[in-house]
Structure 1
Amino acid sequence: MKARRTFGNKLALSFGVTVTLTIVICAASVAALSLVMTAKDNAIKVAVDDLARSEQLRTEGESRIADYRAYLLNGRQEYLDQTTADRQRFLALVTQLRGSLTDPAAQNLLEAVSTAEAAHAAILDPVIERRKEITNLTDVGQLNATDVTPARKALQDSIVALTARVRENVEQARREASTEASRAIVVIIGLGVLALIFAAWVAWKLNRDLRREVGAAIGHIQSSSAQLEAAAAQQASGGRDQASAMSEITTTISELLITSRQIADSAQRVSQIAEETSAAARTGDATIDQTRASISAIRNQVDQIVQHMLTLGEKSQQIGGVVDLVSELAEQTNILAINATIEASGAGEWGRRFAVVAEEIRKLADRTAGSAKEIRALIDDVRGAVNTTVMATEIGAKSVDSGARQFDEATDSFRRIAQLVATTNDATREIELSTKQQTTAVEQVNVAASDTARVTRETEASAVQTRQTAAHLSNLSGDLLDLVGNGRS
């Protein structure tokens, strides 16, 4: 671990130095190139500006010559004004060049141009003044302008010489900028060579340290991996044997657990059936009690029905007497109605209405007699039904007494059944409780055995994985030795 930290520190330090050197080289390169580009741009800009002004100076001079020639020919004031404006622009350019030119030779040539322009202007001004006095074109030939031509020629030559010198300065500035760029490139190349030399030295030193330190570490790794592989092989063999034994134990316990669960389920079903039988017995006992009470009530009702039937027979006899009386009254009323009809027919006109009433009374008496006969027949039927009902009721009362005695015997049987079912239910509950406890214990043993088997399998897999890792680590250490150049041990 110490060797690794030492090598890491060396690598970090070397990387930091390399990065710093690279940054310095980049910064120096950028600064040199920026300096060269700035100097080149400034030199070329100044030189080009001076060259443009010198060219413009020649242009303004030629324009002035053309303008004053036109004025000498036609005498128009606008050409004179243009001539004056051309000279002012010319002098302004001379002033600008005085401020921008740095070459002494160019400055001397500029002064020569200024002197030639002043001499040319001194010769030209009298000619222009004489031209102002001439109004006839035929007199233009009288102007004495012979001295103007040499002065103009001298001005043009001085301008040409200045332009040539400024152009030479532009070329010289370009050459100097190229020289500075070449120097910057040389500096960058030198820094790059130094960086390469330093990087090669760092790589060589790191390679030497890496081979020495990694070789020692790999020796320890190979020794440890061999020991680890042997231990893993032993652990894997023991794990397989233990896993096989635990698998058999787990299978046995699983079968025992299934049997215990089946016994527990059967005991639970027996207990449920016993509880249901006990509940049914208790319900039957209660039902028998209710039935006994119902039979007693039925016996009372039967006795009451007999009494009511006897009373109904007596009432029907009384009704029969009343019906006989009504029947007798109906016959007498019928006889009276017939007599009244006969008497009414003998009474003449005054007895007709009474005859009609007597006839209606006779019809009513006939209907009453018919109804009395029907009532008599019904009363006879009621008497027969009452007698039959009384006889049936007495037979039912005897049957109710016999049923009550049988219900008492059934009640005793249901109570004995309920006691036996209660005893069976208690025994079944004890069996169920014992079976559940046994099932719980077997489940706990099964879980423990399963966990042990799982741990054994995991241990075996871990041992196999450890063995494979040890072999792979041994191979990797050999490859690493080949990589660092020490060869396989």
Structure 2
Amino acid sequence: MMAGRTFGFKLAASFGLTLALTLLMTATSVLALRYVMTTKDDVIKSATTSLVGAEELSRTMERRIGGYRAFLLNKQTEWLNATNADRALFLTQVNNLRSSLADDPTALKLLEAVSTDEATHNTVVSDLITKRQNMAVLNIDLLNDPRAKPARDALLAAIDALISRVHATVDKATTESNDRATAAIIFIIGLGLVLIVGSAAVAWRLSRDLRREVGAAVGHIQSSSAQLEAAAAQQANGGRDQASAMSEITTTISELLITSRQIADSAQRVSKVAEDTADAARTGDATIDQTRASITAIRTQVDQIVQHMLALGEKSQQIGGVVDLVSELAEQTNILAINATIEASGAGEWGRRFAVVAEEIRKLADRTAGSAKEIRTMIEDVRGAVNTTVMATEIGAKAVDAGSRQFDDATNSFRRIAQLVATTSDATREIELSTKQQTTAVEQVNAAASDTARASRETEASAVQTRQTAAHLGTLSGDLLDLVGSGRH
């Protein structure tokens, strides 16, 4: 077993470290080269702008001097235009140099001296040009004016001093750039040496760890191979015993498989009977539901009869009130008829006719009172019949309710029977399913036992092979120790 981190991890870490150092060197080299290139570009730019610009001043001024002297000689306008154009170009170049020499105060002072000397020289040249324009024939003294040469020499000297200063600045920048390039090269070489030393140290450390860890691993392998050889011998003996035991187990499982199949067939028949019983219970439940619906309809009709009989009783009471009113009217009419007869008797001849009418009214009132008494008697009979009918109907309704409750009890019993039958059917199905699963499991166990017996025989053969392999592994571990240079343990 390896101590600490795995060798693969150490190898990956070492490769990562070497790769990081290589990338660091590459990045540093690129940065150093870019720095050197930038410095060189600055020097080239300075030489292109400052030095070339200063030398252009000298050439432009020489062209102007030649131009105005040619005008003094031949008084041609083209030379005057040329010298004026050269002065304008000179002034433009001076302005451009001010921006490129902004970082060099000494060069700027020299440039200002050039500007001052040019202005002095231009004053002398302009005076000479004016005089020549007013002369028809050249006067040789004009060419030899004592002011022209000192002004020209002073201007050219100032330009030469500026050029010398720019040359010195460019040379200094070139030297500094070369020094930076040399330092960058030395730095890259030093970094490369550090990378080489680091890579060598990593390789030495990996080699040392490899020898140590492989040696330890080989020692474990040799020890394990000896143990493996002994275990293989025991395994071979155990494999033979296991094969014999598995043969006996296979015989027992075959008998269990036959029994499981018989139980499955019996459970299937019980499940069929339970399903038939459940169908019959469901049919009886439907019949009881229809009977309950009929009893409910009868109970509803009985309730309606009771309501109608009660309504008939109320109507008979109302008729009795009307009969009482009629009886009272008949009595009052009878009294009035008697009073009218008495009054008619006292009226003499004139009251006879009225007495006859009053008598007829009294007789009519008597018949009305008698009819009212008969109606009252009939109403009483009707009330008695209504009460009797209501009581009989209530008794019938109670009997219907009792029958309904008995049907409910019977329905609940049927439903419990149906539930029990359904439970029995489900349990039978579960038994059937479990038996089938058990049969399948037994078949699988039988197959597994056969496989195990075969595997036991194969294990016995492989144990012998493992013993031989363990012996060969010990030989290979010794060769591996010789390969890594650790010597044999």
User: What TM-score results when the alignment is normalised by the length of structure 1?
Assistant: 0.49
Larger Rg: 1
User: What TM-score results when the alignment is normalised by the length of structure 2?
Assistant: 0.49
